[in-house]
Structure 1
Amino acid sequence: MSLARGEPKFRIAIVGGGMGGLVLGLCLKKYAPDVHFDIYESAAELTEVGAGIGMSPRIWTIMKELGLDEELLTIAGMQDPQGAGIAFRILKGDEERLIDLVQFKQVHTFHRSILQKLLAKHLDMGDRIHFSKRLASYSEPSPTEPITLTFRDGTTATCDLVIGSDGVRSAVRRTMFNDLANDAQKSGEAEEAARLRTMVDPVFSGQVAYRGLAPASALSEELLQYVQGGPHVLVGKNRDVVIYPVSGGKFVNVLAVKHTPGAGPVYDGPWSEPTTVEVVAKVFEGWESKTLGLIKAVKEPFAWAMHTARQLPTYVKGRAALVGDAAHAMLPHQGAGVGQAFEDGYILAMILAHPSVAPANLPAALAVYDDVRRPFSQGVQQGSERNGMNYQLRRTGWENVSEEDSRAGRYPQELLGVLEEELTKQMGWAYEASILDERARVEERLVGLSA
């Protein structure tokens, strides 16, 4: 079927206007100008929760592809003509002295709100970003009829493809997996239906993060010199701390995480709430003095109960797809959650822009997205959980070391070498492969896609 002049190839609804949704929109705008897309955001305006974000070389490649790299470096105040990024170190931080473990290179760090403003500016959607639109559900009556979105305010919209970029509590995922469960139930597969329904809700990780920004103006000369050395990850028994400068060094992002052994899958309390530096400092009592000094310098810290998505058996159904946290919400222990959302959007836009993809074979094209992105992103999701165990000294021989013994240095010293090896191995994926390789594999899969 040929399209009438001016008629879009697809009408796409992106549910969720966070950074993953914005990058997806930018990729569609650049690579698929023949599609029309709208973004439906539940908030009354674009707001970004959190303080800092780090980008590995894979993600920086996408920023360069979108032509955002130079502006990002300028806004961030980084005077690096090559844009190669800065190194970050991992150290043991729960003793009186810091112990160096491993160093990685080529990381870019930014203030989240600054990055989001830049993405929104380049997207320049105007009246195609619809605010205060919280999705209740969607329905796909047949392979050829439009999908209907129903919002909680009672309004509706239609599209040819719905993309859930609506976070860990995704309404698109809820509808998709309830529909999959209903289909299984109708086929007499009661156990499978029950399993699919467990995919709907997020799972509490047993970890609470305390996060916020410390103004550089509030830091001592010693602390300023410390943070100017680049990002640091401080590891310790059942706890870890990530610190790095943002906004050209005007602020320091602090993420301090506590793991509670034996915590259940359901969190009893608000997922995010204000706290005090006194509370956080108490949690990290006995840690290295500079780390504690940075924690105490944070203004208006928040406590965040970290939830993840289960390992989904699919990211797609019919003409619906999940990206970002809706598909694979993960722990922050590789700094990879937002980056994986960017990769999803980049690859999905490449698929939708491909000349072989048409309305009639859209489900088959989405299956390519699922085949390529799900194994990789779930590998990163699992790796983030594993790396959190590394950071919190909960595996590879550290299991039997108590918090008191770890702080006192009473542990076999060879465990430090084992930890260094594990950390190096776990972060390798972010440096060894390029997202452009993934793009090439997708394009090979799409050649000759049957209508």
Structure 2
Amino acid sequence: MSSVNSASKFRVAIIGGGMGGLVLGLCLKKYALDVQFDIYESAAKLTEVGAGVLMSPRIWTIMQELELEEELVKVTGAVDRAGSDILFRKGDEAKVVDIVKLHQLHTFQRSVLQQILSEKLDAKDRIHFSKRLTSYSEPTSPTEPIILHFKDGTTATCDIVIGSDGIRSSVRRTMFAKLSDESERHGHIEDASRTRVMVEPIWSGHVTYRGLILASELSEDLRRFASTPQILCGKDRHVVLYPVSGGELVNIVSSVYTPGSGTVYDGPWVETTTSDKVAKLFEGFNPNAVALIKSLREPLGWALHTVPKLTTYIKGRSALIGDAAHAMVPYQGAGLGQAIEDGFVLAKILAHSSVTLTNVSEALRIYDDVRRPFSQNVQQGSEWNGMLYQLRRAGWEDISVEDSAAGRYPPELLSAFEKDVKAQMEWQYDPGASIKGDIAKVSGMLETLSAQ
């Protein structure tokens, strides 16, 4: 573990070295020079599971703030710095039906993005591997250190603990166990029960199959088709595809809905399957989409789980970010983006001159007040988008699989789809909803904190 820096106003322990943890560390390094941080990662090295990621204009603003734009543009081979268009199409017919186009999305291979973030962070002495947190102990005194307990029997101390440890977060488990215990001690048994169930993830009813394809292995027609970022919508299933790594690879995400959301998923959360099995689930879809699915080598099947709508992201000197706080279905391409926003906003708060060890709990309430409503709205919107992409809302509810595939539906339903998806995605593109506006709001709240 790193030694205590006497010049630091407090020490932050980031539990989890995934994307959210790396961005938080990078933001602290840039904006909070008087804050010491350490990252505790359960794996033996940094690994990132997944294929492609999307960035909206809100997140691109943060990449610009962190001086990453030039390098990110270079690795994507992007011609337009503003990003690519993404086309929404009805894809469960033999011939696709174009519905609406949205603008300014940046696409990346997930592992490449992680590599860039870790190189920019350049804090190898602050990342401690094979450290799986089991629990933490926070004393009642606001200045005594928090004790971190790891599975290997070791401990470490910090002043603030940030849970960036994913959907099965140990920080969330400890936090909500303590909240539940406190409710029980005060006789609030129903509140205690509601709080305790927030520990466990919930199955969304969706299974997603992901993978990457070498563009060079595709026919010319398929390469041309896959060069356009697009979402192919269909009854109870949809396909997302877009190029990454300058067009050398194509990212494929195909999702299937099964009624049963909120139940316990009977099977492994992640497993390797075959392209033929996945293609069979998409029989009747556009032939190009099916051909791309068949080109996948050992796609991974993910049973998508989410985190319940939490009553808080904080307790005392602990806070949750990313999937630990608001794991969501990926149907706004916003899960990673929300983790980045969490880290950016939290770092700005911790860096503020008014925030000290004695009032940091109050400062974390500002983080919760700003980030929890916003991220939970995105979480809900992602669920709604999944219903829309799979033609289970906006008037499509009573259209059967057969009628949808045969084109037997009122044409005005396409207009309803367009209106709905624009409304759901507006927050990502609206200049009036910039992340800079959130930072201005936070700064104003911190000035009030300073005056207390």
Q: Report the TM-score when normalising by structure 1.
A: 0.97
Offset of 1:262 from its aligned partner?
Answer: 3.4
Cα distance per residue 1:302-357 (max 9 Å; x no partner): 00000000000100000000000000000100000000000000000000000000
Question: Which residue of 271, 277, 280 maps to 2:278?
Answer: 280
Partner of 1:449: 449
* Residues 177 and 197, structure 1, Cα contact 8 Å, conserved in 2: yes
Any unmatched runs of 5+ in structure 1? Answer: none
Offset of 1:126 from its aligned partner?
Answer: 1.5
Offset of 1:79 from its aligned partner?
Answer: 3.2
Residue 334 (structure 1) aligned with residue 332 (structure 2): yes
Partner of 1:248: 246
What amino acid is aligned across from residue 34 of structure 2 in structure 1?
D
Helix, strand or coil: the match of 1:360?
coil
Moved more, 324-333 or 391-400: 391-400
Question: Which residue of 312, 315, 320 maps to 1:314?
Answer: 312
Partner of 2:353: 355
Taking the TM superposition and a 5 Å limit, the aligned residue runs for 1:107-122 are 107-122=105-120
Partner of 1:74: 74
Offset of 1:5 from its aligned partner?
Answer: 9.1
Taking the TM superposition and a 5 Å limit, the aligned residue runs for 1:170-209 are 170-209=169-208
Once residues 223 and 241 of structure 2 are traced to their aligned partners in structure 1, the CA distance between those partners, rounded to angstroms, is 12
Once residues 5 and 138 of structure 2 are traced to their aligned partners in structure 1, the CA distance between those partners, rounded to angstroms, is 27
* Residues 180 and 196, structure 1, Cα contact 8 Å, conserved in 2: yes
Once residues 9 and 411 of structure 1 are traced to their aligned partners in structure 2, the CA distance between those partners, rounded to angstroms, is 63
Partner of 1:426: 424
Once residues 219 and 259 of structure 2 are traced to their aligned partners in structure 1, the CA distance between those partners, rounded to angstroms, is 35
* Residues 100 and 418, structure 2, Cα contact 8 Å, conserved in 1: yes
Helix, strand or coil: the match of 2:298?
strand
What amino acid is aligned across from residue 36 of structure 1 in structure 2?
Q
Once residues 430 and 201 of structure 1 are traced to their aligned partners in structure 2, the CA distance between those partners, rounded to angstroms, is 29
Partner of 2:128: 130
Once residues 5 and 42 of structure 1 are traced to their aligned partners in structure 2, the CA distance between those partners, rounded to angstroms, is 24
Residue 53 (structure 1) aligned with residue 73 (structure 2): no
Offset of 1:448 from its aligned partner?
Answer: 3.9
Once residues 75 and 241 of structure 2 are traced to their aligned partners in structure 1, the CA distance between those partners, rounded to angstroms, is 20
Partner of 1:408: 406
Once residues 418 and 72 of structure 2 are traced to their aligned partners in structure 1, the CA distance between those partners, rounded to angstroms, is 32
Partner of 2:215: 216
Aligned-residue Cα RMSD (Å) equals 1.2
* Residues 5 and 36, structure 2, Cα contact 8 Å, conserved in 1: no
Once residues 441 and 197 of structure 1 are traced to their aligned partners in structure 2, the CA distance between those partners, rounded to angstroms, is 32
Helix, strand or coil: the match of 2:114?
helix
Partner of 1:31: 31
Once residues 10 and 99 of structure 1 are traced to their aligned partners in structure 2, the CA distance between those partners, rounded to angstroms, is 56
Cα distance per residue 1:240-288 (max 9 Å; x no partner): 1100000111100000000002355211111001000001000001100
Moved over 3 A (4+): none
Partner of 2:293: 295
Partner of 1:140: 138
What amino acid is aligned across from residue 76 of structure 1 in structure 2?
T
Once residues 15 and 260 of structure 2 are traced to their aligned partners in structure 1, the CA distance between those partners, rounded to angstroms, is 35
Partner of 2:94: 96
Offset of 1:120 from its aligned partner?
Answer: 0.4
Helix, strand or coil: the match of 2:78?
coil
Once residues 300 and 130 of structure 1 are traced to their aligned partners in structure 2, the CA distance between those partners, rounded to angstroms, is 32
Taking the TM superposition and a 5 Å limit, the aligned residue runs for 1:218-237 are 218-228=217-227, 230-237=228-235
* Residues 356 and 448, structure 1, Cα contact 8 Å, conserved in 2: no
Q: Report the TM-score when normalising by structure 2.
A: 0.97
Q: Kindly tell me: are residues 186 and 219 of structure 1, through their superposed partners in 2, closer, same or farther at Cα, counting changes over 3 Å? A: same
